[in-house]
Amino acid sequence: MIGKTLFFRVGVYFVSFLIINFVIDFPLSYYQGYWRQHAYGLSNQTLSKWFGDQFTGLLIGIVAGFLFLWIPYLLLKKSPRRWWLYTGLLAIPFLTLVILVQPVWIDPLFNKFGPMKNKEIETKILQLAERAGIEGSRVYEVEKSEDTKALNAYVTGFGATKRIVLWDTIIAKLDEDELLFVMGHEMGHYALDHVWKTIIFLSLLIIAALYAIHRTAGWLINKFHRRFGFTELSDVASLPLIILLFSAYFLIIAPIALAFSRYNEREADRFGLEITRNNRAGATAFVKLQQENLGVPYPHILVKLWQASHPTLGERIDFCNEYRPWQKGEQLRYEKLFKQAK
Ligand SMILES: [Zn+2]
């Protein structure tokens, strides 16, 4: 019963690792996630809700680790030379599964999701979705105001669980035109297949990182196996080494992944502008986002390269003000995707 032992050994080891890590990280998480948010008036979250969310997150990590982490270790045993490739390829179905189940199984553990309360705006959003060529779209409102005063909206899910989610805070702060621009942006992510493209792109980066880990770990184990206490990467004791190396390579792959994300976000902004042709609403929506979220309009270049998943707010406002090809009689990039209103 090698399979079963491996499953439990990796699981128990991972759970211990996760709990120790959680305890060490706890003061910093509290400072960042609770104390600072309140100090700047960005949060109305109660301490018990914050604590509850932390433990829910830890629990999800434990369950996910137990369910899946034995797979790379099995591959390490069975195929010590090609495990990085197979594990990386498995990231594609794994990420797809995560995106599929997260909106229905995970997200509701943290907040309450429901239909949009303002039916008038919902109707307009659904009309816009029809023009954007997105059929059967669902729009959800999430009661995020119990956690934060910040504004946000996003697309998530896959197939039957695909949806557009609006925080109740953004519905409260933006006017109708601004909300429709934000929706145009979110619909752009769907119409331009950003979810799929991101899964493939991230999987390629994961394969590259795992290959780099494979090469460096082999070299390190050869040199330091006495000190490490293990001689094979397939020994579950290698987990901290793998995580350490992954963190190091993450510094290289993060800017690449973020640049890809910023490109997609710019194109979603373009899509939102082309479908609404409301430059002012786009620009004022980002001004409100900057004010409410205390965003930095032009962060330092290093912050942008290593942290920014979106173009900076300053760049987005400029783009909203400047991008008007329809006024110059120029071809719109995404017009061919738009459907005529019925
Ligand atoms: Zn976006």
- pLDDT band of residue 1 (cuts 50, 70, 90) is very low
d(CA 235, CA 224): 15
Summarize pLDDT for 248-281 with one digit per residue, the tens: 999 999 999 999 999 999 999 999 999 999 999 9
Token code pair at residue 306: 């290593």
Summarize pLDDT for 113-166 with one digit per residue, the tens: 999 999 999 999 999 999 998 876 789 999 999 999 999 999 888 888 889 999
Summarize pLDDT for 192-236 with one digit per residue, the tens: 999 999 999 999 999 999 999 999 999 999 999 999 999 999 998
Give yes or no for a contact between 270 and 330, defined as CB atoms under 8 angstroms apart: no
Give the Cβ contact number of residue 342 at 10 Å. Answer: 6
Q: Ligand 1 centre and the CA of 170: distance in Å?
A: 14
Q: What is the mean pLDDT of residues 324-334?
A: 95
d(CA 14, CA 240): 9
In this prediction, residue 135 carries a pLDDT of: 73
pLDDT at position 75 over 90: yes
Q: Ligand 1 centre and the CA of 42: distance in Å?
A: 21
Active site residues: 186
Q: Ligand 1 centre and the CA of 154: distance in Å?
A: 6
User: Model's pTM, two decimal places?
Assistant: 0.92
Cα dihedral value 254, 258, 259, 262, nearest 10: 180
- DSSP state for residue 217 in the 8-state scheme: H
- DSSP state for residue 34 in the 8-state scheme: I
Give the Cβ contact number of residue 236 at 10 Å. Answer: 19
In this prediction, residue 3 carries a pLDDT of: 61
- DSSP states along 137-190: --EEEE-GGGT-S---EEEE--GGG-EEEEEHHHHHHS-HHHHHHHHHHHHHHH
Q: Ligand 1 centre and the CA of 107: distance in Å?
A: 18
Token code pair at residue 296: 């930095």
